[in-house]
């Protein structure tokens, strides 16, 4: 009897590490100390000494049941982008610069090529956010998970000067809300998605004119990473007063999190295009509009507030970073919360 007989293939683990090295290497930053394979990932903090009062920011998350679609379609090279996005967007939302990321993959059976494809996506997410992938863990769970199943999660650490943190404390009535377009469903609400749509491969590979792609392609589209857009806004000399990453809980849960007491966000639903996948989801599932906006991003992955005088500069900075911005509403005096009209 040996470990392999028990369902854990050590050699496959070694092979996975070798295959993922080329992807991990692309994410390296000068601050990374040592290489892949150590007991811990090391990252120099020498540069943060230039800050007046450096603050470390952290975020941890996974992709939820979106991984089930990747399994059904046998497409594993983008789900890692989602894992990174869910973490680094939260850090950027607070005004931080992501520094590094670590992933955790649990699987029923370690198939080196598949694991390397997953990490390829993680590395791509790190490249999009300028974060170094400095370590991770791949754990085989025989008997706990089916052989073709896996789950993916991770965490990121970032930094910002305390004076540059986005806190909402200077928010005032008259400030303008700008939304940045999402790529679709992103990584939240997939348990409901899987209840509405047939999750067979045949169904997911069906092309729909209104989507301009297959259902699977629309649903599996990676979560947008807004790190560079927020950096571009900062470099344009604009102060972001408040910011919300629209994830699980949609507008009704996430927008109030960016507000201070006595301020209310008013968002116009017709101020930006809602991706057709949401219309299809609502229609097929007979989901009420309020529930859609309380579950999904509905086409806006991030909403931020700026002074009215900074709107044009903000819009241009977001476009320069390759994202699509929309003026979607404003801040008013009132009870802390959000109105969609």
Q: Do 191 and 299 share a domain, yes or no?
A: yes
Alpha carbon separation from 181 to 59, 92, 193, 319 (Å, rounded): 22, 16, 20, 11
pLDDT in tens, the chain (341 residues): 767 766 777 888 778 888 888 999 999 999 999 877 778 889 999 988 899 999 999 999 999 999 999 999 999 999 999 999 999 999 999 999 999 999 999 999 999 999 999 999 999 999 999 999 999 999 999 999 999 999 999 999 999 999 999 999 999 999 999 999 999 999 999 999 999 999 999 999 999 999 999 999 999 999 999 999 999 999 999 999 999 999 999 999 999 999 999 999 999 999 999 999 999 999 999 999 999 999 999 999 999 999 999 999 999 999 999 999 999 999 999 999 999 99
Residue that is written with structure tokens 């610069």 in the block:
97
Q: Is residue 2 part of a domain?
A: no
* Neighbour tally for 214: CB within 10 Å: 16
Contact 99, 158 (CB under 8 A): yes
Q: Do 198 and 158 share a domain, yes or no?
A: no
Checking DSSP bridges between strand 97-107 and strand 132-140, what pairing results, if any? parallel
Q: Is residue 169 part of a domain?
A: no
Q: How much is the pLDDT for 2?
A: 67
**For residue 304, what is the domain's CATH number?**
3.90.650.10
Q: Do 26 and 156 share a domain, yes or no?
A: yes
Q: How much is the pLDDT for 17?
A: 82
Q: Do 132 and 218 share a domain, yes or no?
A: no
Q: Do 156 and 192 share a domain, yes or no?
A: no
Nearest to 230 by CA among 331, 117, 143, 322: 322
Q: Do 220 and 329 share a domain, yes or no?
A: yes
Range of the domain at 278: 176-340
Alpha carbon separation from 269 to 47, 260, 293 (Å, rounded): 43, 22, 10
Strand partners, 58: 157
Q: Is residue 3 part of a domain?
A: no
Q: Is residue 171 part of a domain?
A: no
Domain count, the chain: 2
Last residue of a domain, one of 164, 193, 226: 164
Q: Do 205 and 323 share a domain, yes or no?
A: yes
């Amino acid at each position: 009897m040996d470990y392999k007989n028990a369902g854990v293939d050590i050699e496959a683990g070694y092979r996975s590490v070798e295959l993922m090295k080329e992807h991990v290497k692309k994410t390296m930053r000068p601050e990374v100390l040592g290489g892949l394979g150590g007991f811990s990932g090391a990252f120099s903090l020498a540069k943060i000494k230039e800050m007046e009062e450096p603050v470390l920011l952290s975020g941890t998350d996974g992709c939820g049941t979106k991984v089930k679609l990747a399994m059904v379609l046998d497409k594993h090279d983008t789900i890692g982008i989602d894992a990174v996005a869910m973490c680094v967007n939260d850090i950027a939302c607070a005004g931080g610069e992501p520094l590094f990321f670590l992933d955790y993959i649990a699987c029923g059976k370690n198939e080196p090529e598949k694991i390397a494809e997953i990490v390829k996506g993680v590395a791509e997410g790190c490249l999009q956010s300028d974060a170094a992938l400095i370590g991770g863990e791949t754990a085989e769970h025989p008997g706990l998970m089916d052989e073709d199943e896996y789950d993916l999660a991770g965490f990121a650490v970032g930094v910002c000067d305390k004076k540059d943190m986005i806190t909402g404390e200077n928010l005032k009535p008259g400030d303008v809300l700008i939304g940045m377009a999402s790529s679709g469903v992103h990584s939240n609400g997939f348990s409901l998605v899987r209840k509405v749509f047939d999750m067979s491969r045949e169904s997911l590979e069906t092309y729909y004119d209104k989507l301009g792609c297959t259902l699977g392609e629309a649903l599996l589209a990676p979560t947008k990473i807004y790190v560079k857009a927020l950096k571009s806004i900062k470099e344009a000399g604009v102060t972001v007063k408040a910011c919300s990453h629209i994830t699980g809980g949609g507008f009704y849960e996430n927008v109030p999190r960016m507000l201070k007491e006595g301020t209310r966000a008013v968002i116009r639903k017709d101020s930006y295009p809602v991706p057709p996948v949401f219309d299809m989801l609502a229609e097929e599932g007979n989901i009420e509009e309020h529930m859609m906006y309380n579950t999904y991003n509905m086409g806006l992955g991030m909403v931020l507030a700026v002074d009215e005088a900074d709107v044009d500069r903000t819009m241009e900075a977001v476009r320069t970073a390759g994202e699509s911005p929309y003026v979607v509403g404003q801040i008013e005096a009132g009870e802390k919360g959000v109105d969609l009209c």
